[in-house]
């Protein structure tokens, strides 16, 4: 498929947020998470102001931002359904198994330990702990899709399909491996996903590392889509040679285009995050 991207530009510079790993846009507010933060950030687009809401209360030590790597919650996935945000840790270490449910209306916060459930996912997929790394989540209203990032040594990109909303041990779970392309001889790997009609748009990044824990040199990022029922890839296109995009949300949609917002994890301790806008033409049949 031809490249339908029209442009990729900086949409906002969010001062006070570092290591942005996921975002969701609703009612002129960008909700942001960071993989090393105990906060949910709310960036008000019109006023360019930032709010912080603490969502994690079992942090080790006094630090709530720039939490040391060994202790960070590694929140990598955020999705929205029926006025709640679901914020999910990657599961790549024992300290990264938390899911937070945050009510946008009441600001109620619920915390769930997914350690046993993630163990079940690893057993079903035969993915060991060194290659398990959830970095995208989609809820359709009846089932979850969780995207494993194949940046471990075995390049285990794939999608878990979960039969209900609760992440219960009796949930019916299936796993489908997904082949993603290489950039400069490095296999790309999932970094986020969002549901748009009957498609799941996803991001993937090629990073020169064989570890789900250690970062590496970024050599490019891609956008693509999967059919939500079959998980067959519809298209994949390169969107950057240098950026490590880790968050994807719909900003606006018309009959002829989708505007996405993307966030970038620069893997440093700077408290500034750029949010980019990507305009995509010729919306597929949804």
Predicted confidence (pLDDT) per residue in 8-43, tens digit: 999 999 999 988 999 999 999 999 999 999 999 999
**Distance of alpha carbon 161 from alpha carbon 140, whole angstroms:** 11
Dist CA 177 CA 65 (whole Å)? 34
* DSSP type of residue 40: E
What's the gap between Cα 104 and its chain centre? 19
**Predicted confidence band of residue 213 (pLDDT cuts 50, 70, 90):** low
Q: Each residue of 87-134: pLDDT tens digit? A: 999 999 999 999 999 999 999 999 999 999 999 999 999 999 999 999
Range of the domain at 97: 5-281
> In the chain, how many H helices and how many E strands?
1, 22
| 115 inside domain | yes
For tokens 């995509």, the residue is 280
Closest C-alpha to 246, from 2, 17, 4: 17
At 211, the pLDDT band (50, 70, 90 cuts) reads: low
In a domain, 219, yes or no: yes
**Domain count of the chain?**
1
Between 115-119, 169-173, 206-210, the lowest mean confidence (pLDDT) is in: 206-210
58 band by pLDDT with thresholds 50, 70 and 90: confident
Nearest to 149 by CA among 191, 114, 178: 191
How long a stretch of residues is the chain? Answer: 286
121's enclosing H/E stretch is: helix 115-125
Task: Grade residue 5 by pLDDT with cuts at 50, 70 and 90.
Answer: confident
DSSP code, position 161:
E
- 3-class DSSP assignment, residue 130: helix
Tokens of 240: 């950057």
> Is 286 part of a structural domain of the chain?
no
What is the pLDDT confidence band of residue 166, given thresholds at 50, 70 and 90? confident
Beta bridge partners of 99: 88, 112
Residue 79 lies in a domain: yes
Return the pLDDT at 87: 98
Q: What is the CATH number of the domain that holds 228?
A: 2.120.10.100
In a domain? residue 121? yes
The per-residue pLDDT for range 225-268, each reduced to its tens digit, is 999 999 999 999 999 999 999 999 999 999 899 999 999 877 55
Measured distance CA(102)–CA(41) in Å, rounded: 12
What value does the mean pLDDT take over residues 50-74? 89
The answer to whether position 108 is within a domain reads: yes
DSSP state of 210: S
Looking at residue 32, its pLDDT comes to 98
For 86, other C-beta atoms within 10 Å of its C-beta total 21
Q: Could you give the 3-state DSSP secondary structure of residue 2?
A: coil
Q: Do the domain assignments include residue 78?
A: yes
Pairwise CA distance, residues 241 & 246, whole Å:
14
């Amino acid at each position: 498929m031809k490249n339908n991207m029209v442009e990729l530009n900086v949409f906002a510079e969010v001062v006070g947020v570092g290591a942005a790993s996921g975002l969701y846009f609703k009612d002129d507010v960008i909700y942001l998470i960071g993989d090393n933060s105990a906060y949910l950030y709310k960036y008000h687009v019109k006023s360019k102001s930032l709010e912080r809401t603490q969502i994690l209360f079992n942090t080790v030590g006094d630090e709530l931002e720039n939490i040391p790597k060994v202790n960070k919650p590694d929140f990598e996935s955020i999705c929205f359904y029926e006025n709640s945000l679901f914020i999910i840790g990657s599961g790549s270490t024992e300290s990264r198994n938390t899911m937070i449910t945050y009510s946008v209306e009441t600001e109620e916060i619920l915390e769930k330990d997914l350690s046993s459930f993630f163990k079940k996912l690893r057993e079903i997929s035969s993915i060991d702990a060194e290659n398990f790394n959830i970095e995208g989540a989609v809820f359709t209203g009846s089932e979850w899709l969780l995207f494993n990032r194949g940046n471990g040594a075995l390049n285990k990109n794939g999608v878990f399909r979960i039969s209900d909303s609760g992440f219960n041990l009796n949930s019916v779970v299936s796993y489908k491996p997904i082949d993603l392309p290489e950039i400069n001889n490095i296999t790309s790997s999932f970094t986020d996903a969002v549901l748009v009609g009957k498609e799941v748009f996803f991001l993937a990044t090629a990073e020169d590392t064989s570890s789900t824990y250690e970062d590496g040199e970024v050599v490019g990022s891609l956008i693509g889509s999967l059919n939500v029922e079959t998980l067959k890839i519809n298209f994949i296109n390169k969107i950057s040679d240098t950026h490590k995009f880790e968050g994807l949300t719909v900003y606006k949609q018309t009959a002829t285009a989708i505007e996405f917002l993307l966030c970038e994890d620069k893997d440093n301790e700077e408290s500034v995050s750029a949010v980019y806008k990507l305009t995509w033409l010729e919306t597929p049949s949804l």
